Amino acid sequence: MATREIKKAVLAYSGGLDTSIILKWLQDEYNCEVVTFTADLGQGEEVEPARRKALDLGIKEENIFILDLREEFVKDFVFPMFRANAIYEGEYLLGTSIARPLISKKQIEIAQQTGADAVSHGATGKGNDQVRFELGYLALDPSIAVIAPWREWDLNSREKLLAYAEEHDIEIDKKGKKSPYSMDANLLHISYEGMVLEDPAAEPEDDMWLWSVSPEEAPDEAETISITYKFGDPVAINGNEMSPATILETLNKYGNKHGIGRIDIVENRYVGMKARGCYETPGGTIMLKAHRAIESITLDREEAHLKDEMMPKYAKLIYNGFWWSPERKMMQAAIDTTQEVVNGEVKLKLYKGNVIVIGRSSDESLYSEEHSTFEEDEVYNQADAEGFIRLNALRFIIEGKKQPERIANLTSKL
């Protein structure tokens, strides 16, 4: 039951089962005016039907917001994350995680625009999204009230939700049909959780994957593409300049065609439990490989290594919902400074689930063929390496002379 007096709440609204029920529940339990916000992040589904559903539930036309955020999503959230080469626990490219701060931002903007004193979301009390949404809300507006129905109501099963919908005459598409998986999609990825996937030993069903062909069914001939980078961001494919969202859309098509970007992982949720999920991130998988390739010739060694040391912390911040934190912004500033020289072109071969780098070039390349050649050169004196090695070994030499017993013990264990 409601314990706070709320006048107006902005609801992150998809028009699906959960959020349609939340809309009605907010009206009944809080007796407040509801503003709906539906984000088009390139999820591949029509968002306009949410307008009609909201109107049917009594929402005023001026209180219905449907926004196309595809370009902003890729330009201001996906691209900065990929400049860091962010990947969580070695595999997850953070497709769901990176969408939440943008949704939070827009909800707060709409709340301020409409004079709302609360925001609401449909995330459950078991998952990461509740944390991501609410850390975003409170970072951007510390005075906003947050309503998380899944932590308040007793509608804790699909059957109870459907019964509530029937009782209140809420129209639900395919009402009564049990959805096989819990899914989230945007331009970067699609995720699958629940059902058979709750057993980490069970193989996913072949027809679960909605975006990509299986690597076995992918074309038998490889396809070569090129990606052009400017300041660490992809700006063209095969020489054709494109907007950020179009870049990712195009790479998704290539990845889906060649069975690229499927993963099956058990990840550690921020709230403490492990969860098994399957993901398709076709374009992102290609971008990660290409970005590391262009960095390999344009970044200084220690600069690149320091970035790699920072990356797990950066990825963890995004996964846990700390996009708006001072530490993420600080790390982003450092990362973006390195990207000033990450310009050039990467050539890739796509083949049966694989992304293979076959070339990289840049006007700012630090690769020096005359220094690296195995042939005769006039720029590097190999005899200099002896002094370099002896200086690096100096502490070993001193230790060996001053503490011979310790060295003897070490060598006896070899």
Is 158 a domain residue? yes
Whether 242 and 381 map to the same domain: the answer is: no
Number of domains in the chain: 3
Last residue of a domain, one of 127, 149, 179: 179
* pTM listed for this prediction: 0.93
Whether 170 and 272 map to the same domain: the answer is: no
Nearest to 325 by CA among 336, 337, 313: 313
Is 72 a domain residue? yes
Whether 196 and 211 map to the same domain: the answer is: yes
pLDDT grade for 175, boundaries at 50, 70 and 90: very low
Residue-wise pLDDT for 324-353, tens only, equals 999 999 999 999 999 999 999 999 999 999
Contact 243, 221 (CB under 8 A): no
Whether 25 and 138 map to the same domain: the answer is: yes
Domain with 223, as residue range(s), is: 183-299+342-361
Whether 137 and 205 map to the same domain: the answer is: no
Is 388 a domain residue? yes
Whether 42 and 146 map to the same domain: the answer is: yes
- At 221 the pLDDT is 98
Is 2 a domain residue? no
Q: What is the CATH number of the domain that holds 127?
A: 3.40.50.620
Whether 201 and 175 map to the same domain: the answer is: no
Q: Active-site residue 100, yes or no?
A: yes
Is 348 a domain residue? yes
pLDDT grade for 272, boundaries at 50, 70 and 90: very high
Mean pLDDT across the chain: 94
Whether 148 and 289 map to the same domain: the answer is: no
Q: Which of 14, 18, 70, 184 is catalytic?
A: 18
Q: Which of 70, 97, 129, 233 is catalytic?
A: 129
- At 275 the pLDDT is 96
Q: Active-site residue 143, yes or no?
A: no
Q: Which of 76, 117, 141, 182 is catalytic?
A: 182
Last residue of a domain, one of 179, 200, 224: 179
Q: Which of 51, 70, 83, 100 is catalytic?
A: 100
Q: What is the CATH number of the domain that holds 249?
A: 3.90.1260.10
pLDDT grade for 409, boundaries at 50, 70 and 90: confident
Whether 131 and 224 map to the same domain: the answer is: no
pLDDT grade for 3, boundaries at 50, 70 and 90: low
- At 302 the pLDDT is 97
Is 116 a domain residue? yes
pLDDT grade for 176, boundaries at 50, 70 and 90: very low
Residue-wise pLDDT for 112-142, tens only, equals 999 999 999 999 999 999 999 999 999 999 9
Mutual angle of helices 394-402 and 384-392, in 10-degree steps: 50
Whether 55 and 147 map to the same domain: the answer is: yes
